Structures are given as C-alpha cells and as structure tokens.
Amino acid sequence: MNKYHIWTIGCQMNVADSTHVGAELEKLGYEPTNDVDAADVIVLNTCVVRQSAEDKAQGKLGALKPWRKAHPDRTLALMGCMVGVRPSPKLVEAYPWVDVFMAPSEAAPLVGHLRSRLIEEELAAIEMQQLRSRHELQDGAYPTASIKHLALLGEAPVAANVPVVYGCSHACTFCIIPFRRGVERSRPLAEIVSEVRGLVAQGVREVTLLGQIVDRYGYDLDGETDLTALLEAVHAVDGLLRIRFLTSHPNYLDDRLLEAVAALPKVMPHIEVPIQAGDDEVLAHMRRGYTVDDYRRLVARIRHIVPGAAIHTDVIVGFPGETAAQFEGTYDILEELHLEKTHMARYSPRPGTVSARKMDDDVPDAEKHRRLALLEAQHERISGEINERWQGAAVEVLVEEKHKGKWRGRTPQNRLVFFEDSRDLRGQLVPVQITSTSPWAMQGLATDAPTPT
C-alpha cells in the first residue's frame, strides 16, 4: 500500500489542515507512516508567523531534496503559510524538487496531482473507451473543492480541532496571516455540524472551533448565522461533551456570545483573546483597533458574564518603536489582570507585512530577550498562584490519554491535570481532587466513578 508522511509546524489551524490532508490521502488509498524513507508522499505543512518556524521548514525542504531525487515516483508537497494563497514564482524557482504547492487548508492540488498520476497509470492498462467512463466516475468521487474534515488518522483523539472560518480580513501590521491564508471565509454551519457528528461517532469528545478571529464566524454568510448560532447547533450534537473556540478578537467578543458561553453547559469557560501590547501607542501602530482600557473592560465583562472563566492572551515584545516604558505597560496590565495564560513572542519582521515594510525593527535583540524573560518569570509566578487556588478542590477532568503511567486530562478552564487510576478512563469525565499544583500542571486523585458518557 502507498504511504504518506505529514510534517506540521505552527498553529492549531495547521494541525487541523494536516488532519484534513491525511483524510483525503486515505480516501485515495494511502496509509500514514512516520518513516520518511517508506513514504511515497510527503507533505510539509509550514508556518511563517515566526522566523524560527520558517527556518525549520526551509531546513526540512533542503533535507528532503535527496529523498525526492532518489525516486521519480515520490511526491513532495509544500503547504501552508510559506506558500500563501498562491505560490510566488520565486518560491517555485527556489525549490524545483517540490511537486505540488498548496495554499493553507487546500488539499485539492495534491489530490489532483495524485489522481492524475493514477489516471496516467491506468491509461497504459485500459482502452480509451474504458478510460473515459472511469475518468468521469473518479471526477465525481473526489470533489476537489472539498474542505471537509470527516476522517481522522488512526485512533480518533479525545479532543479535535475543527476549522470554522478560514483566513483573516483584518490588517494587523505585524501579521502575515491575511497574505498567506487569504480573506475570511466561513464554512457553512450544516457542514460543520455534520463534521462534528462524524468526529463524535469516531470517539471525539471535545471539539475546538478554530478561526483567526473566530467570533467573526458567519459575517460573510447570510447575515443571521454567527458563532453563537454555531455554538448552539454544535451543542446539540449527542455524545459531544465539551466545546471550546479560539481565537477571539477584543472587538468582536460581544455579550450575546459570552451569554451563550455561560448558558450552554458543554461550552467551556475558556476564552482566548490576545491583547498583544499594554500600551495604546503600540496597539495603534499594530493597528489592533482597541486600547488597553478597552481590553481591561472586556476582561471585566467576561468575568461578570462567565464567572470563573479562564482568559488566555497573547503578547508580542519588542514591536518597532516599543520603548522600555511602553513594555512596562504590558508588564503592568498583565500583573493587574492576572490572566490564566499568556502566550509570548519576540517581534520578528515578516516579509511583506506593513511593519516590515514601513517600520524600523529598532528594539535590539538582547532587549527583546530581556523583556521576554521578564514576562516569562511573571507568567510562571501568576500561573503558579492561579493553580494553587485549586489545591484541595474537586474538578471535572476530561481524560485524554495516558502519559508516563498517569492519566492526563484538562479541567473546564483548560488546566492540565495528571492522576493515577487503573481503570480505562480515556474519553471520560472524571471527578478529581487536586492534591498538588505547580505553575504548569496539577496532580490529583480520582474521587469517584467516572461520569457515564
């Protein structure tokens, strides 16, 4: 049987895209392998949001040149943000050993390439008349425009990602996503719900609905469908235990949506909403569209409507022109808001973005490292304090898998919990009493039989 291997770097959207490509390849009769030399098809699903991710993808591309050259029948596909909406002639010229270039979320070019190869093989074996009818049959069997994710590779995970809106039409000055993933496109609600049903039938118990600005789901549809309507529809899927959604934007997280989070028991009290900087001038240069005070009020609103919600944020340090005092604004607002999790990054200019073209990357690298280290230490302390509050509490854990002899799962607030138990608890909701905590995880004891699912 033909085999495929997918290498993925970057965000959860890329992970979901890779799952989709794998599912499409399995429909063509391919099976997954981790052994690069045994693979007939390799897909590199790339990210260029940070320089380090782009460097790794380029390294992989170089390393795979001999693999591709060794067998003319092998296929190497390059996918994701490195390709963008359309591959540039420069990219195609730089990597002549790449057979297929695929935009983010689009499996069709690879499927089409492999199908035409199959058809070529058949051409040698059958008569022209038979070929025509077979060709027509196959055209119907593989709709190339499909962006569904109905199958999963191997055993279904307990928690799966489901893209609901592709691309982004915002224009944050530092961000390459709109150039690489194209304009915002929402998937039809019915298609998403049927995908979730399919995932649940395969064993998935939690879905995370993904979008660059997930709260804008439906803005490009019929004027009635929105993320709240989608949450309600997905909530009605039998057998599904938990729903999360990310990433939110401060300008679009409205009360109606927050009220749905509070009212729908399967929707977890967990909001991912980046602040990016704690200074109004820096936010304006980033063209984020809100002020620090707007974000402060948003956090208060989330905590008022969804008590106990975990709020996660993103921050960039060393944006062009960010002074030490402006960075302190970021440090101070994080101290004040005491958010559950902060994802941090040092600014690196991405070619083609407004900040790379028009702003000086003038914060020295050592200073970016210093600012990042300060935020990391702060985050470790705050995260430790937040986890400590759970000491002795009973929490409900959705068990995902065994890790080093212990069950690993997450609380509704997405805190990681480990506990020992000899029963097979994968995919079940288990009440756990927390016995010890650290900044990154909590340990506990299962206190009762699992909740039947």
CB of 168 to ligand SF4, least distance (A): 3
Binder among 79, 82, 172, 382 for ligand SF4 (CB under 6 A): 172
Closest approach, Cβ 247 to ligand SF4, in A, equals: 7
Q: Is 81 in the site for ligand SF4 (CB under 6 A)?
A: no
Mark residues 230-259: x for contact with ligand SF4 by CB under 6 A, - for none.
Answer: -------------------x----------
Least distance from C-beta 314 to ligand SF4, angstroms? Answer: 8
Whole-angstrom distance, CA of residue 193 vs CA of residue 198: 9
Q: How far is residue 89's CA from residue 77's CA, in Å, rounded to a whole number?
A: 16
Among residues 160 and 172, whose Cβ is nearest to ligand SF4?
172
Asked whether position 76 contacts ligand SF4 by CB under 6 A, the answer is no
Q: Does 213 bind ligand SF4 (CB under 6 A)?
A: yes
Q: How many residues bind ligand SF4 (CB under 6 A)?
A: 9
Q: Does 178 bind ligand SF4 (CB under 6 A)?
A: yes
Is the bond into 46 cis (omega within 30 degrees of 0)? no
Least distance to ligand SF4, CB of residue 256, Å: 20
Q: Exposed, middle or buried, 67 (CB in 10 Å: 0-12/13-18/19+)? A: middle
One-letter amino acid at 217 equals Y
Please give the structure tokens belonging to residue 128. 């022209």
139's CB contacts (< 8 A; 6+ apart) are none
Least spacing, CB of residue 63 vs ligand SF4, in Å: 29
177 binds ligand SF4 (CB under 6 A): yes
Q: Which CB sits closer to ligand SF4, 264 or 354?
A: 354
Nearer residue to ligand SF4 within complex by CB, 204 or 210: 210
Q: Judged by CB under 6 A, does residue 285 bind ligand SF4?
A: no
Of 168, 200, 337, 372, the residue at the interface with ligand SF4 (CB under 6 A) is 168
- With the C-alpha atoms ordered 314, 318, 321, 327, is the resulting torsion angle positive or negative? positive
Residues recorded for the chain: 453
Candidates 33-41, 142-150, 174-182, 413-421: pick the segment binding ligand SF4 (CB under 6 A): 174-182
Q: Does 8 bind ligand SF4 (CB under 6 A)?
A: no
350 binds ligand SF4 (CB under 6 A): no
212 sits near ligand SF4 (criterion: CB under 6 A) = yes
When the beta carbons of 248 and 413 are compared against ligand SF4, the nearer one is 248
Q: Tell me which residues touch ligand SF4 (CB under 6 A).
A: 168, 170, 172, 175, 177-178, 212-213, 249
